[in-house]
């Protein structure tokens, strides 16, 4: 394991009348002896400013903060103590999540999730891109940086770490988030033929982005593989290990957007479905993000009474993605909806509100939470899109669901969703439960992995080389499969096993 950051104690020979080599070259020679087979050692100007006095004060034995990547060694700082920290960050459309690591012990000190402050300009990426096109691009960039700096401050405060001792960060995000991060123009991303400014980002310095960690910190931003395959997906693929699998495996990542990765060590397909929004509160009126008061787990009793659990056990305010899947699944199991999602008046919880049928989930003096037929319809579109995407991507390489060896599940799905219930409504195929491997936030974990082992840069390169984006919504195949999947579980349930 080669961590992205380490402390090296370098003992140099003292200069003498027969050894008059300059300080910098002396240090480089010392480093060359300690590190093997290297081609290039870079020392920043700030380190050069400190170098002569540090050498002489410490009898030519100095402690340096080093980042070794491939054949390139970067001296980031000369230090008195050995406190070095690094960040792994996942920039989601909705949340930014960070972990702070002690790079000496390679231990995670803490993690934190904050709302992406760009939400003030729109819940979904397209709204934000729209604002960027109206000239508010700088503002969106600054909002994101402010959010990251807020995250960094809270993580550092919590762990009692000096922010200037944070010397590296690995950041993963979708293509638009990565572009906002670097303040790159996003306006061509959502317009045919969907061209980002960059796929591969050069290493940056914290100072370039005005991140409030050591200004000379190495910042690595995960590459995109196109407008719809962001660094978060690449990072997730790395974490899952899908790219090392001999047999075809799948990675399903459902966050604000849903992405499906299918592949093995030789090929990888990525398809972006439209499933996301219904699971995170974008579409249905009662939907909300998985925050305090969101119903995330429920079942329905014999009298149609809903027994639910909410996040932080708070009074229910809405229903998050996983709760929504359970709700639809339970409503179908109890016969409250038919296989087209139409409400059946089988109990007094099915009511008419403004002349439209609805099912009451929760009713109190303060609040009445109900789901309407149009909410259900919207959800079914999402579940159909998800299934059709899974079907199309599997068949596109001539394979069947039964050929899938492992299903890695990350994002909201991975955290809270009961795969059994998702299968029950035909959202995902009927694959043996043992094949499901929950990953949690795979994008964040992929970023964390890279902090610990820079040999993985080669793996990322490999992933980018074998990955292909499969456009879903314009494929005839997808549109053919979609209508049948609008039924619960499907017009042809056999296909779920196929």
Residues near a second copy (CB under 8 A) are 15-17, 19-25, 42-43, 45, 48-49, 51-53, 56, 182-185, 187-188, 192-200, 202, 204, 208, 224, 226-227, 469
Q: Residue 186 or residue 320: which is nearer to a second copy going by CB?
A: 186
Quickly tell me which residue has 């593989």 as its tokens: 225
Kindly tell me which of 128 and 349 has the beta carbon lying closer to a second copy. Answer: 128
Minimum CB distance to a second copy smaller for 49 or for 153: 49
- Token output for 321: 């993605």
Instruction: Pick between residue 20 and residue 107 the one whose CB is nearest to a second copy.
Output: 20
Select from 321, 348, 353, 346 the least CA-distant residue to 332. 346
CA atoms within 13 A on the CB side of 193: 1
Q: Find the shortest distance in angstroms from Cβ 15 to a second copy.
A: 5
> Could you give the residue ranges of the DSSP H alpha helices within 174-224?
175-181, 206-209
> Got the DSSP string for 444-497?
HHHHHHHHH-TTHHHHHHHHHHHEEEE--TT-HHHHHHHHHHTSSS-SSGGGGG
Distance separating alpha carbons of residues 373 and 357, to the nearest angstrom = 6
Closest distance between a second copy and the C-beta of residue 71, in Å? Answer: 12
Question: Could you tell me the smallest distance in angstroms from the CB atom of residue 51 to a second copy?
Answer: 6
CA distance between the termini of the chain: 41
What are the beta bridge partners of residue 78? 64
CB 433, min distance to a second copy, A: 38
Alpha-carbon distances, residue 309 vs 51, 134, 414, 438 (angstroms): 59, 42, 18, 21
Q: Are 96 and 154 in contact (CB under 8 A)?
A: no
Bridge partner list, 351: 358
Q: Nearer to a second copy by C-beta: 27 or 286?
A: 27
Minimum distance of a second copy from residue 199's CB (angstroms): 4
CB of residue 130 vs a second copy: minimum separation in angstroms? 16
CB of 230 to a second copy, least distance (A): 12
The residue (of 188 and 374) whose beta carbon lies closer to a second copy is 188
Between 25 and 302, whose beta carbon lies closer to a second copy? 25
The residue whose two tokens read 């997906």 is 233
């Amino acid at each position: 394991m080669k961590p992205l950051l380490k402390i090296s104690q370098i003992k140099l020979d003292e200069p003498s009348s027969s050894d008059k080599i300059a300080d910098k070259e002396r240090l480089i020679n010392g480093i060359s002896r300690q590190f093997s087979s290297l081609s290039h050692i870079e020392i920043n100007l700030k380190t050069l400013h400190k170098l002569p006095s540090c050498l002489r004060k410490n009898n030519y034995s100095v402690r340096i903060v080093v980042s070794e990547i491939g054949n390139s060694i970067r001296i980031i700082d000369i230090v008195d103590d050995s406190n070095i920290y690094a960040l792994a960050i996942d920039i989601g459309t909705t949340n930014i999540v960070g972990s702070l690591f002690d790079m000496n012990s390679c231990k995670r000190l803490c993690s934190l999730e904050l709302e992406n402050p760009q939400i003030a300009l729109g819940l979904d990426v397209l709204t934000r891109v729209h604002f960027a096109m109206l000239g508010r691009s700088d503002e969106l960039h600054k909002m994101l940086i402010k959010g990251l700096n807020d995250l960094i401050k809270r993580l550092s405060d919590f762990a009692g770490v000096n922010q200037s001792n944070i010397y590296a960060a690995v950041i993963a995000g979708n293509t638009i988030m990565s572009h906002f991060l670097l303040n790159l123009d996003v306006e061509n991303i959502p317009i045919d033929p969907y061209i980002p400014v960059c796929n591969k980002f050069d290493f940056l310095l914290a100072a370039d982005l005005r991140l409030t960690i050591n200004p000379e910190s190495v910042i690595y931003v995960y590459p995109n593989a196109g407008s719809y395959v962001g660094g978060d997906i690449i990072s997730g693929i790395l974490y899952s290990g899908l790219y090392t699998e001999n047999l075809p495996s799948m990675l399903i990542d459902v966050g604000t957007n849903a992405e499906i990765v299918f592949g093995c060590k030789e090929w990888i397909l990525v398809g972006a479905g439209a499933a996301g929004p219904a699971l995170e509160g974008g579409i249905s009126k009662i939907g909300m993000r998985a925050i305090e008061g969101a119903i995330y787990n429920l079942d329905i009793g014999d009298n149609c009474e809903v027994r639910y659990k909410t996040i932080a056990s708070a009074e229910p305010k809405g229903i998050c993605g996983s709760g929504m899947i359970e709700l639809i699944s339970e409503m179908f199991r109890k016969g409250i909806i038919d296989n087209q999602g139409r409400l059946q008046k089988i109990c007094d919880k099915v009511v008419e509100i403004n002349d439209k049928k609805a099912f009451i989930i929760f009713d109190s003096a303060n609040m009445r939470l109900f789901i309407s037929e149009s909410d259900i319809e919207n959800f079914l579109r999402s579940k159909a899109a998800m299934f059709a995407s899974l079907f199309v991507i599997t068949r596109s390489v001539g394979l069947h669901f039964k050929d899938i060896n492992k299903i890695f599940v990350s994002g909201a799905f991975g955290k809270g969703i009961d795969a059994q219930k998702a299968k029950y409504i035909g959202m995902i195929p009927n694959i043996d439960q043992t094949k499901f491997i929950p990953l949690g936030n795979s994008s964040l974990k992929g970023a964390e992995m890279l902090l610990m082992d820079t040999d993985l840069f080669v793996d990322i390169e490999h992933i980018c080389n074998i990955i292909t984006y499969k456009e879903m919504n314009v494929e005839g195949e997808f549109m053919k499969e979609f209508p049948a999947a609008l039924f619960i579980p499907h017009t042809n349930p056999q296909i779920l096993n196929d």
